[in-house]
Chains A and B, each alone.
Chain A
Amino acid sequence: NAGVTQTPKFQVLKTGQSMTLQCAQDMNHEYMSWYRQDPGMGLRLIHYSVGAGITDQGEVPNGYNVSRSTTEDFPLRLLSAAPSQTSVYFCASSPRDLSSPLHFGNGTRLTVT
């Protein structure tokens, strides 16, 4: 069972470069989300989606774009990378249900120099 697959695992960018973090799930989950994790701040929600074609902003959306063209995929785009975006990024999915826990990918460690 693949679950939630994130790629790449590690990435180094220069300031101003753009890139896309990939996220795919094979559990037919309607809900998908992206978080960033910084020391002492827990996980903060960047963007989320409650179904294909629907996306919305979370707590810290600036500098990031998402799209949800299929149920399975939820890519996160960094438009012009900044050092403040150095972080660990997690993708997570679940059924659209308040009682369902999120299933997390293994994370992407991004460094912007």
Chain B
Amino acid sequence: GAVVSQHPSWVICKSGTSVKIECRSLDFQATTMFWYRQFPKQSLMLMATSNEGSKATYEQGVEKDKFLINHASLTLSTLTVTSAHPEDSSFYICSASASWQGGTDTQYFGPGTRLTVL
């Protein structure tokens, strides 16, 4: 159980175009989803937190107009990188959190998306 998928796994795009990344919880309903960015050989950097049906909460320094997050259902969140530039090239990872009985929450991660902007 607790499987999270991400699509696409790898995308190459031209500078100035927009790219959408999907994150799905396959066998549970995710009350909250998270989007991370990971640079080579570094830890995960939280970009934003999204709850179904409400606006995402962005971390300090993350441009919300550039990284659009939509959480339309309890199983799907999307991250759109708008007007992508080479500096946006990175590994993007989503996670989904399920509130189990007793109130404990654990994040389960998708496999990640490698974005390369030419």
Q: Do A and B bind each other?
A: no
